[in-house]
Structure 1
Amino acid sequence: MAYGHMATVYDRLMADSPYGEWLDFAEGVWAKKGMPRRVIDLGCGTGNIAIPLAKRGYQVTGVDLSAEMLAVAYDKMRREQAQVLWVEQDMRELEVPQADSVISFCDSLSYLTDEEDVQQTFSRVFAHLQPGGTFLFDVHSPYKILHGFGNQTFALTEEEVSYIWQCFCDPDRLEVAHELTFFLRQENGLYERVEEVHEQRAYQPYEMVRWLREAGFAEIELTADFTGLPPVATSERLFFCARRP
């Protein structure tokens, strides 16, 4: 599911997200495994990681399925006087020039709700990495799907935007449907109601490791929650690092 209406308010809703920690994670790994020159950001959204990387001197290609999100990213890039190549594309069909590292943060890969889609994406990433290149990404853990989302309802009320966020969990598939109803304030003071549905799925870590190996990756490392430590039963965000030999 691509972001549509939500693109216009995405940055406001995600203002507290730890983008700096994702950047630190990536550069910490690169410092140990080799600094890249060219980077592909899969599921780049509105460019909150791609643009800072470009401003730090990396050659960045931002890939996202949502034209609306990329439009916001392009405007931000121009305001911040950076240079990123934006590509509207399905990560399962990735077709861009090769890079030295591929990253995918903010649980973008959790939107792949079929095992075959994950495996296909891993294969496409492998094909688009230079030998020795790294693949860094994070996903929701099974614990986060079951207990962080579960069958809960969240709400937000602000002057410019309000929402009702309902979660419907399938525990057998470790999958959650996010049914989002937004109320967006218009210039005339009235509110427009828009709705979106997003689906995310978690996979067991050992499955992800196996699929990475089957795609050809080696030196696979698994940590959790920005700690640099292996996950525990209550970890919510799983980080993977893998290298193309």
Structure 2
Amino acid sequence: MAYGQMATVYDRLMADSPYPQWLDWAEGVWVKKGKPQRIMDLGCGTGSIAIPLAKRGYRVTGVDLSAEMLAVAYDKMRREQVSVTWVEQDMRELELPQADSIISFCDSLSYLTEEDDVQQTFSRVFAHLQPGGTFLFDVHSPYKVLHSFGDQTFTLTEDEISYIWQCFCDPLRMEVTHELTFFLELESGLYQRVEEVHEQRAYQPYEIVKWLREAGFVDVELTADFTDLPPHETSERLFFLARRP
């Protein structure tokens, strides 16, 4: 699922997201596993991770399905006066030069709602890594989908933007449908109504580990919530590290 009109307000909505923690977690892994020169960021969105990585001296390619999100990322890159290569592409059909490390944070892979899509993506990632390269990503845990989202409604009311965010959960598939209705203030003072629907799915950790190994990855490690510790019952974000031999 690609972000459409929501792309223009995405950064405002995600202002409190822990981007520095994703960056620190990734660099902590690279200190141990080898520092990459070329990084590919799958589901890069508006570049909130790709651009800081470029500022730290990495050669970064940002890949996203949404042209609208990439347009915002490009404008941000120009303002920051750095260089990132932006590519509009489906991660399931990845076709780019190889990288030393491929990352996918902010639960981008949770948008793959079919098992075959996850497995296909893992195969494409494996093919796009240099030997010894690392694959780093995080996804929503089953607990988060079933209990933190569940069948809940979230709201926000501000002067320039308001939203109604309804979550509908399928517990058998561990899948959540996000129905989002935004009201965006225009220059005229009137409000524009924007609606988007997003679907995300959680998978059991052992399934993800199995699919990574079937794709050819080795040294698969699983931690949770930005720590070096394994997940527990109420962990919300699962982190995976895998290496191409």
Could you state the TM-score of these two structures normalised by the residue count of structure 2?
A: 1.00
Matches for 1:1-245 after TM superposition, within 5 Å: 1-245=1-245
Q: Deviations over 1:164-200 (max 9, x none)?
A: 0000000000000000000000000000001000000
The letter for the 2-side match of 1:194 is V
Mapped to 2, the partners of 1:228 and 1:183 lie a distance apart of 40
Q: Identity over the aligned pairs, expressed in percent?
A: 84
For the residue of structure 2 that corresponds to 1:139, the secondary structure is strand
5+ residue gaps, structure 2, are none
For the residue of structure 2 that corresponds to 1:9, the secondary structure is helix
The letter for the 1-side match of 2:190 is L
For the residue of structure 1 that corresponds to 2:68, the secondary structure is helix
Mapped to 2, the partners of 1:199 and 1:20 lie a distance apart of 26
Instruction: State the aligned residue count.
Output: 245
Q: Deviations over 1:44-75 (max 9, x none)?
A: 00000000000100000000000000000000
Mapped to 1, the partners of 2:71 and 2:95 lie a distance apart of 20
The letter for the 1-side match of 2:146 is L
Q: Deviations over 1:197-225 (max 9, x none)?
A: 00000000000000000000000000000
Mapped to 2, the partners of 1:228 and 1:75 lie a distance apart of 35
Over aligned residues, Cα RMSD in angstroms?
0.3
Mapped to 2, the partners of 1:161 and 1:97 lie a distance apart of 40
CA positional deviation for 1:19: 0.2
The letter for the 2-side match of 1:237 is R
Mapped to 1, the partners of 2:17 and 2:228 lie a distance apart of 18
CA positional deviation for 1:5: 1.0
CA positional deviation for 1:228: 1.2
Mapped to 1, the partners of 2:94 and 2:155 lie a distance apart of 35
For the residue of structure 2 that corresponds to 1:242, the secondary structure is strand
Could you state the TM-score of these two structures normalised by the residue count of structure 1?
A: 1.00
CA positional deviation for 1:36: 0.1
Mapped to 1, the partners of 2:80 and 2:162 lie a distance apart of 28
5+ residue gaps, structure 1, are none
CA positional deviation for 1:35: 0.2
CA positional deviation for 1:112: 0.1
Q: Deviations over 1:111-160 (max 9, x none)?
A: 00000000000000000000000000000000000001000000000111
- Runs of 4+ in structure 1 deviating by more than 2 angstroms, as ranges, are none
CA positional deviation for 1:227: 1.5
Mapped to 2, the partners of 1:89 and 1:161 lie a distance apart of 30
For the residue of structure 2 that corresponds to 1:164, the secondary structure is strand
Mapped to 1, the partners of 2:233 and 2:136 lie a distance apart of 22
For the residue of structure 2 that corresponds to 1:196, the secondary structure is strand
